[in-house]
Amino acid sequence: MKIVACYSNKGGVGKTAASVNLAYAFAEAGNRVLLCDLDPQGASSFYFRVKPSQKLDNEAFFEEAKQVTKAIRGSDFENLDILPANMTFRDFDVFLSRMKNSQSRLKKALKAVGGDYDIIVLDCPPNISTLSESVLQAADLIVVPVIPTTLSERTFEQLLDFIDGHEDAKGSKKKIAAFFSMVQRQKSLHGETMARMREAYPKRILEAALPFSTDVERMGVNRAPVLAFASERPSTQAYRQIYEEVQTRLMEG
């Protein structure tokens, strides 16, 4: 079992869309996939038409594998199951802060339910928190969407600084696989930022880049991954390239 976390400490960068499309791509390739929605907003669950399980609270998530298993739902797509979020997940940080060895709790919980899956994809909430530390430790690969703008570049640097500043997370920097999201190539700022960041972080940034596209916005209308309803579009081609690079890094790791 491999764990892929789609994570960003900045909101609005395309993290959930990446989670949904990567999970679909892994399943399409024949892997047994669990998409675990850790964001209390439940956007990735919504995209797959899955309602949250109100019985799965913080304590059950981290300490009762049977309850987690009961909360897992099937999707409309073969090989792809969903563990939907609910609003109690907003208290994960408070709950984890009270637990011993909190950084390892998420990995332990996922291993308890992961026996039926080849890949677990985590859709993580956009912040730096106690849960973030658990995600960094649990994941085999951390996929980070970055819009090529000054603020997104700054938050990416903050993420790397956070990893450097935490003893338990230091080994996580090599797990980072960032990709440029919502790219508008006609904007000189986007091109300049991409070139600068590729030079600064040559091993951390994937070659594939996701263009700005209304297809991604239409996911909310179609309630499905872009890969499932817009197979020939540039955004779909980009997600497939991202998937191929992620798969390669998992195999190398």
- 3 state SS for 107-146: HHHHHHHHHHCCEEEEECCCCCCHHHHHHHHHCCEEEEEE
Q: What is the mean pLDDT of the chain?
A: 91
pLDDT above 70 (res 253): no
50-104 per-position pLDDT tens digit: 988 777 888 888 888 888 899 999 999 999 999 999 888 888 888 887 776 667 7
Two structure tokens written together for 121: 């994809």
The per-residue pLDDT for 102 is 64
Q: What percent of the chain has pLDDT over 90?
A: 64
207-231 per-position pLDDT tens digit: 999 999 999 999 999 999 999 999 8
- DSSP annotation of 174 reads G
Closest CA to 17 of 232, 218, 244, 234: 218
**Residue 81 CB neighbour total at 10 angstroms:** 21
The per-residue pLDDT for 113 is 85
Q: Which CATH number fits domain 2-252: 3.40.50.300, 3.30.565.10, 3.40.47.10, 3.40.1690.10?
A: 3.40.50.300
The per-residue pLDDT for 189 is 94
The per-residue pLDDT for 196 is 96
**SS3 at position 206:** strand
The per-residue pLDDT for 211 is 96
The per-residue pLDDT for 28 is 97
The per-residue pLDDT for 215 is 93
Give the C-alpha distances (Å, rounded to integers) separating 146 from 13, 58, 97, 215. 6, 30, 28, 18
145-174 per-position pLDDT tens digit: 999 999 999 999 999 998 887 656 556 788
Exposure of 132 in the CB half-sphere (CA atoms within 13 A): 16
**SS3 at position 4:** strand
Q: Which amino acid is at 223?
A: R
Q: Which amino acid is at 62?
A: F
Token pair 């308890």 is found at: 112
Token pair 């919504």 is found at: 46
The per-residue pLDDT for 169 is 57
Two structure tokens written together for 153: 């570049």
pLDDT above 70 (res 122): yes
The per-residue pLDDT for 167 is 58
Q: What percent of the chain has pLDDT over 70?
A: 96
- Residues 162-191, mean pLDDT to the nearest whole number: 85
